[in-house]
Amino acid sequence: MSRRMEIAKAYEKALFAGQRDEVGSYFTDDIVYWVAGTPRIGGEWRGREAVLNALWNREPGLGAADWGSEDVWRDWYEADERVIVEIRERSWLKSAPKDIMDQRTCVVIKFRGEQICEMRDYTDSHVYEEFLKRHRKELPKFK
């Protein structure tokens, strides 16, 4: 496994474990995080603190809520100065467990040296938009 792949996987592990300081240590000061979709679902954040805040406050996507989720698969690839992860996951509000979003996402993680300088999150934001139509009242971000 290459050093970039090790760093990308360590970043994800720290993110899922809620280790904000460790996550930040993997980023350059001028990191850019872009998420597909119209504002409130997608957007762009610039700089380490802005990106950390976006991740911790769940600014992209549908935001913080009482979610359930299941990873279906996760495939990792390397290309030049990038690591690419293709993700398929299912998620649902615990208050509506039968309404499941089946989502596919591709995240491109770009490196400068041994730090992440850019992340681009390509997801089908239409899936989020349709889910939002059905559950707006249950999603604090959109109240």
pLDDT value of position 135: 97
Beta-strand ranges (E) seen in the chain are 27-35, 43-46, 67-79, 82-93, 101-112, 115-123
Q: In which domain, by residue range, is 90 found?
A: 3-142
pLDDT value of position 143: 82
Structural domains in the chain (count): 1
pLDDT in tens, 55-71: 999 989 999 999 999 99
Beta strands 27-35; 82-93: pairing state: unpaired
HSE (CB half, 13 Å, CA atoms) of 127? 17
Burial of 120 (0-12, 13-18, 19+ CB in 10 A): middle
48 phi-psi bin (left φ>0, alpha ψ -120 to 50, beta other): alpha
pLDDT value of position 12: 97
pLDDT in tens, 48-106: 999 999 999 998 999 999 999 999 999 999 998 999 999 999 999 999 999 999 999 99
The token pair that represents 142 in the structure block: 């959109």
pLDDT value of position 1: 87
Q: Which of 91, 89, 19 is nearest to 55 (CA)?
A: 19
What distance in Å separates the CA atoms of residue 1 and residue 3, rounded to the nearest whole number? 7
Average pLDDT over residues 21-47: 97
pLDDT in tens, 107-141: 999 999 999 999 999 999 999 999 999 999 999 99
Q: Domain containing 104 — which CATH number? A: 3.10.450.50
